[in-house]
Amino acid sequence: MLAASLAADGFEGPHTVLEGEFGFLKVFCTKWDEAELTRGLGEAFVFSSTVLKRYPCHATAHAAVRAVRDLQAEHGFSATDFEAITVTDTERMVERHNVLEPTDLMLAQYSIPFCVALALHREARDPEFFDETALRDPQIRTLCRRVRLVPEPGVALAGMASTVTIGLADGRRFTGRAENGMLEPGELEDKFMRLTRCGLGERSAAALFDRLQRLEDEENLDWLGTQP
C-alpha cells in the first residue's frame, strides 16, 4: 500500500530493483523466472486470496493444534487422560520448533509441543489464553514435556501438515491429521470478535464487523480513524 501510494504521487526508484544485480531476486533467490513477476498482472490480486491464521501462535503449530482439537472434540477425552502425544512433522519443523521448555511467550508461540499442550487445556483460538499464566501453568508445562515431535519419513521442507497420535492412560489410541490451521470461510467473524470485543465491547465490535463487510458501500473510510 505504501509503495503504491508513493508511486501514485510520482515517487521513482531504480528500474532494476527486482531483477537487477542488487535487486530482491538476487538477494532472496538462487534461481528465478522473471516472467513470474508479471504473471496475472492486473487480473489476479493476491489480497483476494490471502488466508488468516486461526490460532494466535506460529503457523507451523497450526496443523498440530487443529488435529488435537479435532480429536478431543470427537472422542471427548480430557487433558489429564494422556499417556503420550506424538506429532509427526517435517524435519525443518522438528529442528526449529521442538521447544519443550519455552522461557517466554514468543518461544511458547513458536513451540509446537507447548501450543499442543495449551490447546488441550485452553481455547487455543483466543489470544487472551496465550498469556503469562499459560507460560507458568504447571499442567501445560508438564504436558508440553510429554509431546514428542518426530520427523515424517521422506519429508524435509514441503507442506504444513501434521499427524498427531494420542495415547491415553486407559490404552486407547487415536490418530488424526490436519493439513493446516488456517481460517476457513465462515470463521472470520469469530476471530474478529475474539480480537476486538475486549476493547470495543460485544455490541460495538459486532456492529463494526458488519460495517466492514460492506466497505464498498462507504463513501470514504475516515470513520475508521475514529474507532476507539
DSSP bridge partners of 150: 88
3-state DSSP assignment of residue 48: helix
List the chain domain ranges: 59-178, 184-213
CATH 3.30.1330.120 fits 59-178, yes or no: yes
pLDDT > 70 in the chain, percent: 95
Whether 64 and 178 have beta carbons less than 8 Å apart is answered as yes
Q: Checking phi first, is residue 41 left (phi over 0); if not, alpha (psi -120 to 50) or beta?
A: beta
Is residue 158's pLDDT more than 60?
no
Partnered with residue 164 across adjacent β-strands are 87, 176
- pLDDT for res 49: 66
Looking at residue 132, what is its pLDDT?
93
Mean of the per-residue pLDDT values of the chain: 87
pLDDT for position 159 = 57
- The cell for 98 is 521442538
The side-by-side arrangement of strands in the sheet containing 162-168 is 147-151, 82-89, 162-168, 173-178
3-class SS at 108? helix
- Checking if the pLDDT of 215 tops 90, the result is no
What digits encode the pLDDT tens for the residues 86-115? 999 888 888 889 999 999 999 999 999 999
3-state secondary structure of 199: helix
Grid cell of 196 as nine digits: 476486538
Give mean pLDDT, residues 109-123: 94
Q: Which cell numbers hold the place of 5? A: 501510494
| Rounded CA Rg of the chain | 22
Q: Is the pLDDT of residue 221 over 50?
A: yes
157, pLDDT greater than 50:
no
For residue 85, the surrounding DSSP H or E stretch is strand 82-89
pLDDT of residue 50: 65
Confidence (pLDDT) at 227: 66
Q: Cell 532472496 sits at which residue?
A: 28
In this prediction, residues 175-180 reach a mean pLDDT of 88
77 phi/psi in degrees, rounded to 5: -80, 160
Q: What is the pTM of this model?
A: 0.73
Tens of pLDDT, residue by residue over 52-91, are 888 999 988 999 999 999 999 999 888 778 888 999 988 8
State pLDDT tens for residues 20-43.
888 889 888 888 898 888 888 888
